[in-house]
Structure formats: C-alpha cells, structure tokens
Structure 1
Amino acid sequence: MSAPLVVSIPHRLGREEAVHRLKNGLGRAAASIPVMQVEEERWSGDSLAFRIRALGQIASGRVDVADDHVKVEVVLPWLLQRFAEVAQATIRKRGQLLLTRDEGK
C-alpha cells in the first residue's frame, strides 16, 4: 500500500463554518470533475471518510477539519499514483475555493 497523498489547506473560518462549507460544497466540487464519482461520503463530527472512483479505480481518504486548516489524506491505487501531483493541486485549488470564497457568491 502506498503512502497517502496529504494536502493541508489553511483557512480563517473556524471549524464550524469550514465544516458547513465543505458539507455543502463537496458534492458540487466533485461533480465538476467528469472522471470522478463519489462512491461514499460519511461525516462523523468534524471528519469525513470518503471513497471515490476515478478512471475505474477506487481511492479512499479522510478529511479532518481544524480551527485553522483542513487536512485531506487520500490513498491512491497504484494506477492513479501517476496522477498524484495533479490530484494534489486539484484538491488544494478546490479546497481553497470552498474555504475562501464569500458564502453568497
């Protein structure tokens, strides 16, 4: 098993608002990536366990929300590891959009 891909995304929202934005925005963010489908999304407090399918492969991960950052860990199957840098950049960009844009926009 490979080491997880880890992305830390800073924010200034506080834990409660960050969780709220992630719960409301993750589905839309995932839907905007055509090669990816969310197979499972399970929240437990401030943590999310998820499983996604991309290019016929399953990846699993965890999102932990803290007061000042969100930590995303994803374990990619070996066939998707070649896309790790792209995945890391995409997670960071989409996460920053969810956590920094104005709620009403």
Structure 2
Amino acid sequence: MADPVSVDVPHKLGREAARARIAGGVGKLADMFPGGGTVEEHWEGDTLHFTLSAMGQKVASRLEVFEHHVHAEVDLPPMLTLFAGKIREKLAKEAPKLLE
C-alpha cells in the first residue's frame, strides 16, 4: 500500500474547540474527494476515524486533533493513488474551512 496522504492544518482554537468544529463539519469531508459520497465516522479520544466513498472506493482517514494543529491522514486504495497530489492540495486548501 502507498504511503498515506498527510497534511497538518494549523489553528489557534485549542484542542476542544477544534474538535467541536470538526465534529460539526465532518459531513463536508466527502466534498474534498473526487466522487465523494457518504461518510462513516467515530471518535477515539481526540482522533476522528472516518471512511468515505470516492469513485467507488472506500477511503479510510484520520484526523488527530492537537492543541495547535490537526494532523490529517488519508489511506488511498491503489486505484486512487494517482490522485494523491490533488487530494493533498485540496486537503491543504479546504481542511482549514472545517475549523472556521
């Protein structure tokens, strides 16, 4: 399997406020991926684990919330690794909007 797509998103909200904002906007995550669909999610502590459908594939991802940044990792199935660069760019651009 290819390395996950990783992005760190800085914020000044603090851990709890960032976590709350992400929880309120997790449904928008599907829009960040080509062919995005439904999102299945669950929290383990300060880490959001979610799976979404993209182009007929299941994409497992994690958002780990820290005091001053959120670390996002997306595990792409082999078919979608061609889009890794575009997904990384889109995450870097769109993920901060989840914290607004």
Two-structure CA RMSD over aligned residues (Å): 1.7
Question: TM-score, normalization: structure 1?
Answer: 0.85
Unpaired segments ≥5 residues, structure 1: none
Tell me how far 1:65 sits from its aligned partner: 0.2
Q: 1:33 & 1:62 partners in 2: Cα distance?
A: 14
Structure-2 change in CA distance of 1:68 and 1:90 (3 Å): same
Q: Which has the larger radius of gyration?
A: 1
Report the counterpart of residue 30 of structure 2 in structure 1. Answer: 30
Report the counterpart of residue 74 of structure 1 in structure 2. Answer: 74
Report the counterpart of residue 6 of structure 1 in structure 2. Answer: 6
Following TM superposition, where does structure 1 have runs of at least 4 consecutive aligned residues deviating by more than 4 angstroms? 31-34
The structure with the largest helix share of the pair is: 2
Structure-2 change in CA distance of 1:94 and 1:47 (3 Å): same
Structure-2 change in CA distance of 1:32 and 1:62 (3 Å): closer
Q: 2:31 & 2:86 partners in 1: Cα distance?
A: 17
Tell me how far 1:41 sits from its aligned partner: 0.6
Question: TM-score, normalization: structure 2?
Answer: 0.89
Identify the range of structure 1 (28-37 vs 3-12) with the bigger mean alpha-carbon deviation: 28-37
Unpaired segments ≥5 residues, structure 2: none
